[in-house]
């Protein structure tokens, strides 16, 4: 029985998605509890899987007992076990936190919403867990399609933005599919381990190179790597709150994971970093992404749009850190995937909490917010400090690895970009702080009488828990690195998979 635990991670949310959909017709009040139970079960499964991986080593799970390369196999090592926990945690916190807003926003479509929610989670979990490049594409489409639908549920503007995202996303996914097609032509296999063992024996390097570049560009598109980010700001800022705070933390991070997996597990570090000679280009692209993303974020006058551009900047951090090509940089990128997912969750939940009270997110409407929503703003501050990279919040620790990785690799421009972006982040967030702390001027007594109008408790508690987690993750960053990320990264570099 316990050997079947990995299957639960995918099967439970998938089946629950069907149940929830039916419940949406029969008894709407059952949707939320069912979804929460499914996600909690998935979460527990991911923890058990992690424990097993760290105790017994990698888990190879064969679906229905078929052997690869014909059957579908899952390969779980430290890296994807970690990302699985991350996905399950974000999905679980977010579903609890957005219960009331979801009920408010989609009163008659609750079944559909939670069904899509679970399908999306199934999709991204599947992307992470699978050991098969074509399966990955299928699951990518499941996640993306449910993602488009979730983002598009918020009225006409959201639908248009989501449609735009759909076009761009489909192009990205297709490029990835082309890449895997070439891989299949070259190797005759779709299993990652299988391909990895065949690739070094092949003569036709140019075919492999083409497949690599196609996969990479496709993934860049999906992860919103500048300048392929254009779909992201509209899609995330127009989306309904409960969808945005699920998808914004997860999509880009999962795509980064896929990039790491494809580059290091399938093509192997030597090919990806040395033979392709792409490192310098991608690191410079990351520098451009970081700087221009920061500038674009500065130009926004709405909270959610600013946050969306910050995601673009953070993608630059992670992509750049990975392409530094040394263990420190990759460690930083992986740690930042975890941290950034939690920070983004915290920020989007804050945006949701604010929206639940003042129903607007233009900066000028945020006046006096520190007094009206002190707890929400505390969580916001913690997340802001983490994005800036102030210790002891977690953002500092991944930034430290990225900075050292940059220096070790001799990519000083990347280190400089990180520092500059941190400073711009100070400006970005303290602009919001100033507006919500000072104005309106000169009538403190009157303001003090206004009293507190906090978000509802079921939103506030998960939000504060997420903020607390940002600090806990900071203090335990070293443990996380030594127990999980370092084994993961070193096995990626030695290619032991």
Partner 1 sequence: MIPIVSVKPLIAVLVSLAVIPVLISARKPNVREAWTFAAAFGKFAIVASMVPAVMAGRTLEFSITTLFAGIAFKLEVDAFGLLFALVSSFLWIVTSAYSIGYMRGLDEHSQTRYFCYFAAALSATIGVAFSANLLTMYIFYEILSLSTYPLVTHHQDREARSSGRRYLLYIMVGSIGLVLPAMVIVYLLAGTLDFAAGGLLAGSLSAVPALFLLLMFVFGFSKAAIMPVHAWLPAAMVAPTPVSALLHAVAVVKVGVFCVFRVITEIFGPGMLHDFGYGPLLCAIAAVTILVSSFIALSQDNLKRRLAFSTIGQLSYIVLGAALLTQSGMAGGMLHIAMHAFGKITLFFCAGAIVVATGVKNISEMTGIGKQMPATMGAFFIGSLSVIGLPPCGGFISKWHLAIGTIEADQLIMLAVLLLSSLLNAAYFLPVVYRAFFCTESESLFANQIKEAPGWCLAPPVLTAVASILLFFYPQPFLGLSRLAVTRILGG
Q: How far is the CB of 90 from partner 1 (least distance, A)?
A: 25
Compare residues 89 and 367 and give the one whose CB is closer to partner 1. Answer: 367
Residues 160-219 that bind partner 1 (CB under 8 A): none
Q: Residue 27 interacts with partner 1 (CB under 8 A)?
A: no
Binder among 34, 191, 415, 466 for partner 1 (CB under 8 A): 415
Compare residues 280 and 434 and give the one whose CB is closer to partner 1. Answer: 434
Among 414, 452, 149, residue whose Cα is nearest residue 285: 414
Distance CA 429, CA 422 (A): 11
Compare residues 141 and 486 and give the one whose CB is closer to partner 1. Answer: 486
Strand residue runs (E) in 81-122:
none
**Of the ranges 22-30, 65-73, 182-190, 423-431, which one interacts with partner 1 (CB under 8 A)?**
423-431
Residues 429-488 that bind partner 1 (CB under 8 A): 430, 434, 437-438, 441-442, 444-445, 448, 475-479, 482
Q: How far is the CB of 419 from partner 1 (least distance, A)?
A: 6
Cα 153 to Cα 116, 311, 355: the distances in Å are 11, 21, 17
Distance CA 119, CA 17 (A): 6
Among 129, 128, 58, residue whose Cα is nearest residue 488: 58
**Of the ranges 17-25, 204-212, 359-367, 407-415, which one interacts with partner 1 (CB under 8 A)?**
407-415
Among 108, 301, 350, residue whose Cα is nearest residue 358: 350
Distance CA 132, CA 127 (A): 9
Contact between 132 and 192 (Cβ < 8 Å): yes
Q: Residue 404 interacts with partner 1 (CB under 8 A)?
A: yes
Q: How far is the CB of 444 from partner 1 (least distance, A)?
A: 4
Measured from the Cβ of residue 350, the count of other Cβ atoms closer than 10 Å reads 28
Residues 291-310 that bind partner 1 (CB under 8 A): none
Distance CA 464, CA 459 (A): 9
Compare residues 343 and 477 and give the one whose CB is closer to partner 1. Answer: 477
Q: How far is the CB of 391 from partner 1 (least distance, A)?
A: 4
Distance CA 71, CA 10 (A): 17
List 73's β-bridge partners, or say none: 62
Residues 338-397 that bind partner 1 (CB under 8 A): 385, 388-392, 397
Q: How far is the CB of 385 from partner 1 (least distance, A)?
A: 7
Distance CA 90, CA 95 (A): 8
The structure tokens listed for 467 are 């903020």
Q: How far is the CB of 415 from partner 1 (least distance, A)?
A: 7
Sites of contact with partner 1 (CB under 8 A): 385, 388-392, 397, 400, 403-404, 407-408, 415, 419, 422-423, 426, 430, 434, 437-438, 441-442, 444-445, 448, 475-479, 482
């Amino acid at each position: 029985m316990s050997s079947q635990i990995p299957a639960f991670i995918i099967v439970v949310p998938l089946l629950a998605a069907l149940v929830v959909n039916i419940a949406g017709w029969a008894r709407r009040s059952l949707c939320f509890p069912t979804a929460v139970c499914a996600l909690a079960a998935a979460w527990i499964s991911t923890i058990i899987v992690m424990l097993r991986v760290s105790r017994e080593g990698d888990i190879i799970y064969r679906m229905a007992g078929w052997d690869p390369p014909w059957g579908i196999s899952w390969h779980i090592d430290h890296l994807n076990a970690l990302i699985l926990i991350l996905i399950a945690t974000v999905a679980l916190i977010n579903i609890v936190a957005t219960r009331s807003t979801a009920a408010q926003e989609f009163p008659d479509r609750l079944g559909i919403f939670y069904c899509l929610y679970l399908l999306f989670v199934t999709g991204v979990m599947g992307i992470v867990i699978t050991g098969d490049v074509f399966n990955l594409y299928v699951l990518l489409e499941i996640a993306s399609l449910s993602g488009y639908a979730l983002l598009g549920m918020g009225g006409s503007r959201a639908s248009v933005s989501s449609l735009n995202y759909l076009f761009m996303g489909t192009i990205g996914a297709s490029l990835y599919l082309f890449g895997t097609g070439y891989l299949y032509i070259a190797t005759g296999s779709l299993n990652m381990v299988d391909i990895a063992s065949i690739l070094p024996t092949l003569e036709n390097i140019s075919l492999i190179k083409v497949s690599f570049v196609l996969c990479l560009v496709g993934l860049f598109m999906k992860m919103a790597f500048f300048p392929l980010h254009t779909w992201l700001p509209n899609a995330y800022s127009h989306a309904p709150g409960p969808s945005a705070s699920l998808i914004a933390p997860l999509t880009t991070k999962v795509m980064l994971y896929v990039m790491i997996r494809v580059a290091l597990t399938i093509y192997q570090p030597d090919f990806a970093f040395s033979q392709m000679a792409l490192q310098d280009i991608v690191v410079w692209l990351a520098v451009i992404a970081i700087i221009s993303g920061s500038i674009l974020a500065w130009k926004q006058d709405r909270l959610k749009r600013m946050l969306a551009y910050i995601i673009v900047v953070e993608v630059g951090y992670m992509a750049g850190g990975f392409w530094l090509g040394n263990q420190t940089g990759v460690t930083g990128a992986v740690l930042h995937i975890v941290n950034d997912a939690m920070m983004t969750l915290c920020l989007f939940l804050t945006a949701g909490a604010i929206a639940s009270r003042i129903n607007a997110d233009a900066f000028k409407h945020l006046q006096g917010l520190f007094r009206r929503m002190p707890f929400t703003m505390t969580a916001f501050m913690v997340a802001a400090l983490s994005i800036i990279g102030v210790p002891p919040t977690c953002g500092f620790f991944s930034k430290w690895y990225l900075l050292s990785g940059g220096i070790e690799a001799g990519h000083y421009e990347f280190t400089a970009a990180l520092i500059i972006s941190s400073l711009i982040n100070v400006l970005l967030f303290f602009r919001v702080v100033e507006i919500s702390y000072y104005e309106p001027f000169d009538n403190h007594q009157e303001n003090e009488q206004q009293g507190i109008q906090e978000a509802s408790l079921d939103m506030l508690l998960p939000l504060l828990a997420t903020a607390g987690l940002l600090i806990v993750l900071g203090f335990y960053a070293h443990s996380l690195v030594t127990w999980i990320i370092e084994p993961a990264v070193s096995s990626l570099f030695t290619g032991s998979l």
